[in-house]
Amino acid sequence: MSEKIRIGILGYGNLGKGAEASIQQQPDMELVAVFSRRSPESVKTVNPNTKVIHVDDAEKHVDDIDVLLLCGGSATDLPEQAPEFAKLFNTVDSFDTHARIPEFFENVDSSAKPNGKTSIISVGWDPGLFSINRVLSESFLPEGETYTFWGKGLSQGHSDAVRRIEGVKNGVQYTIPSEKAIERVRNGENPELSTSDKHTRECFIVAEDGADKAKIEETIKTMPNYFDEYETTVHFISEDELKRDHNTMPHGGFVIRSGKTGENTNQIVEFSLKLESNPEFTASVLVAYARAAHRMNKEGLTGAKTVYDVAPAYLSPQSNADLRKKYL
Amino acid sequence: MSEKIRIGILGYGNLGKGAEASIQQQPDMELVAVFSRRSPESVKTVNPNTKVIHVDDAEKHVDDIDVLLLCGGSATDLPEQAPEFAKLFNTVDSFDTHARIPEFFENVDSSAKPNGKTSIISVGWDPGLFSINRVLSESFLPEGETYTFWGKGLSQGHSDAVRRIEGVKNGVQYTIPSEKAIERVRNGENPELSTSDKHTRECFIVAEDGADKAKIEETIKTMPNYFDEYETTVHFISEDELKRDHNTMPHGGFVIRSGKTGENTNQIVEFSLKLESNPEFTASVLVAYARAAHRMNKEGLTGAKTVYDVAPAYLSPQSNADLRKKYL
């Protein structure tokens, strides 16, 4: 590897910050700039040497950047940004609105392909690494069941929901996988499990002065869709405790394939993540896929791609000969 | 999928039997024949309808077979068979002599490539799926340590070693991963662990009548390289118990990457297998990679390949559009 892969980051929230840190760990990459919609002076990067450029000027940097990481959100940013920037740059994004992925893929593909660019979409761990494990394990074990458990992890959507309740000053919600359900799956029982069978929910709530805590707890536990079908625990804590103990974004989960081979032989394949920071890990996955986007583009593999299209060797900084010698 | 992928199996031991069963589970494959060095009449296949052909006649079937699974052993069969048959067929093998993989790769490549064939070598779970997980997790988390634990599993080499001891009529040895060591790794401690720190050994021995059991146990526990550095447990059982309780070939293991991102954030990636039958699972992996060999060959991707060169989509019977829609 003579020249480093030149990376740009578009969007500087938690994911963009994670990408900035991850690129520093990679031996064959350099961060060219962060692009932001905010005025560049107002963006405080973790590394003070990181260059910040207004997104309107991104087009001037097409020759300085090998891959642009799209670190915006899936709700409104990516559906607009990905097709736009895929015309100019190789891109990697973490679009995670599962139901809209086919449409998103087509939109990005029709931007990237005619412009000779490579865009790897929906990268991260779910969608991403979990998706790979679902497909691989089902390919090996066609007869069986695949189970996905999420957590222990902070759920942004559920945290928002509890914070909207009257009398709640602040709060967070964790999704917790059921140990009992995981054990049944690992034992090859192939149980039928709903999402609420597989998970419990735990809330840490800061109540406003004089609020009716019993009523808050009741409102949470009976909230339709969010909590009513789940075993839910509610803890009341102080604002200081919330800031001290609940200021990180842990997450993780398990994908377990329980299959049968031969006469009636149980075979269990399991992939799991235990992440102290969800955005930092997701960003680290995006950064490795940027290496793949760059290499695949150089080989003429253009258009929209997903993790299913990327051979493992494209993700590693090591040569194929070294991978065979040292890791096989 | 209009036409089924036509598979041949070369070698009919435990792996070949596992492949026969796995192909029956795959919606898009058919088994054309088993090729054996034995006389075809003497080979009793699990499915009585399976055609058995002498290996000397394999060359006559180059037009009937899309992929030949090489199910021989790594010690003597594969180093000879793989370069020979890679001239005639697309092949998949499970060559697992780690130190000799680079040389094996070159030998197979120089047979396959000039003949326009595709050979995926060293497929299975280790080498194979474990190798993929080592490379992927290190690509995402360059700072950290990777740990491999094997077991609980029957070790053929160690079982042979105990059976050679005077007074031992029969016996098996299991390698067992240390729960304590696994917990330390999962907790992000990044401990330094030797192979003997990570595993214990358990033997089930049938002693000959009148044999000195204390001496047998002592001989096992002090056997250099095989047992002396390990915590070893020896159980004496009857021949009937051995046949009843120890007639299967379970195996499995764990690949755990414990990495750091950002300031000092722990991130744990884990892949594990719990297999009731090692050969049936390994065969199932080979069969899925046969699909990849066939598709890659049709796309002109010829020569020797490893699991690092195979994009996940090649392994699944489903279309890329379905993978995006249903699994991403």
d(CA B70, CA B10): 5
A105: chain B residues, CB-CB within 8 Å: 324
Q: What is the mean pLDDT of each run of 10 residues along chain A (328 residues)?
A: 88 97 98 97 95 97 98 94 98 94 98 98 97 98 97 90 96 95 94 93 96 97 93 96 94 97 96 97 98 98 98 97 95
B255: chain A residues, CB-CB within 8 Å: none
- Our CA dihedral for B138, B141, B143, B145, rounded to 10 degrees, sits at -50
Residue-level length of chain B: 328
d(CA A226, CA A249): 20
Q: Cα-flanking dihedrals φ and ψ of residue B290, to 5°?
A: -65, -40
CB within 8 Å: B135 and A323:
yes
CB within 8 Å: B129 and A122:
no
Q: How far is CA A85 from the centre of its chain?
A: 20
- Residue bearing tokens 């005619």: A114
pLDDT grade for B155, boundaries at 50, 70 and 90: confident
- Among B105, B311, B325, the residue with its CB nearest the CB of A309 is B311
Structure tokens, B214: 């204390």
- Our CA dihedral for B123, A317, A101, A135, rounded to 10 degrees, sits at 10
- Among A132, A261, A311, the residue with its CB nearest the CB of B309 is A311
Please say if the pLDDT value at position B2 is more than 70.
no
Q: Residues B121, A137, B313, B133: is their CA dihedral positive or negative?
A: negative
Task: Give the pLDDT of residue A161.
Answer: 93
How far off is chain A from B20, nearest CA to CA, in Å? 9
CB of A289 closer than 8 Å to CB of A282? no
Higher-pLDDT residue of B93 and B248 is B93
CB within 8 Å: B268 and A274:
yes
Q: Which residue of A has its CA nearest to B275?
A: A267
How far off is chain B from A46, nearest CA to CA, in Å? 10
Task: Give the pLDDT of residue A232.
Answer: 96
| CB burial readout B151-183, b (16+ within 10 A) else e | bbbbbeebbebbeebeebebbbbbbbbbeebbe
DSSP string, B100-145: GHHHHHHHHHHHHGGGT-EEE-S-SBTTBHHHHHHHHHHHH--SEE
CB within 8 Å: B315 and A267:
no
Q: Cα-flanking dihedrals φ and ψ of residue B203, to 5°?
A: -115, 140
d(CA B212, CA B97): 37
CB within 8 Å: B309 and A320:
yes
Task: Give the pLDDT of residue B156.
Answer: 84
How far off is chain B from A310, nearest CA to CA, in Å? 5
Size of interface A-B (CB pairs under 8 A): 214
Q: What is the pLDDT of residues B5-32, one digit of tens each?
A: 999 999 999 999 999 999 999 999 999 9
Q: Cα-flanking dihedrals φ and ψ of residue B204, to 5°?
A: -115, 115
Q: Which residue of B has its CA nearest to A262?
A: B21
CB within 8 Å: A288 and B132:
no
Indicate the SS3 state at residue A36: strand
- Among B140, B186, B285, the residue with its CB nearest the CB of A140 is B285
CB within 8 Å: B25 and A134:
no
CB within 8 Å: B327 and A101:
no
How far off is chain A from B291, nearest CA to CA, in Å? 10
Structure tokens, A248: 């990180």
Task: Give the pLDDT of residue B225.
Answer: 86
CB of B276 closer than 8 Å to CB of B81? no
CB of A162 closer than 8 Å to CB of A203? yes
Q: Which residue of B has its CA nearest to A94?
A: B328
How far off is chain A from B43, nearest CA to CA, in Å? 18
d(CA B105, CA B112): 10
- Residue bearing tokens 């258009």: A303
d(CA B147, CA B169): 36
Q: Which residue of A has its CA nearest to B26?
A: A142
Most B CBs within 10 Å, among A308, A310, A322, to test the B interface: A308
Residue in A2, A3, A1, A8 with CA at minimum distance from that of residue A290? A8
Residues paired with residue A168 on neighbouring β-strands, in sequence order: A207
Helix A101-112 / helix B320-327 crossing angle, nearest 10 deg:
130
Please say if the pLDDT value at position B53 is more than 70.
yes
Which residues make Cβ contacts (< 8 Å) with residue A217, sequence separation at least 6? Answer: A234
Q: What is the DSSP letter of A263?
A: T
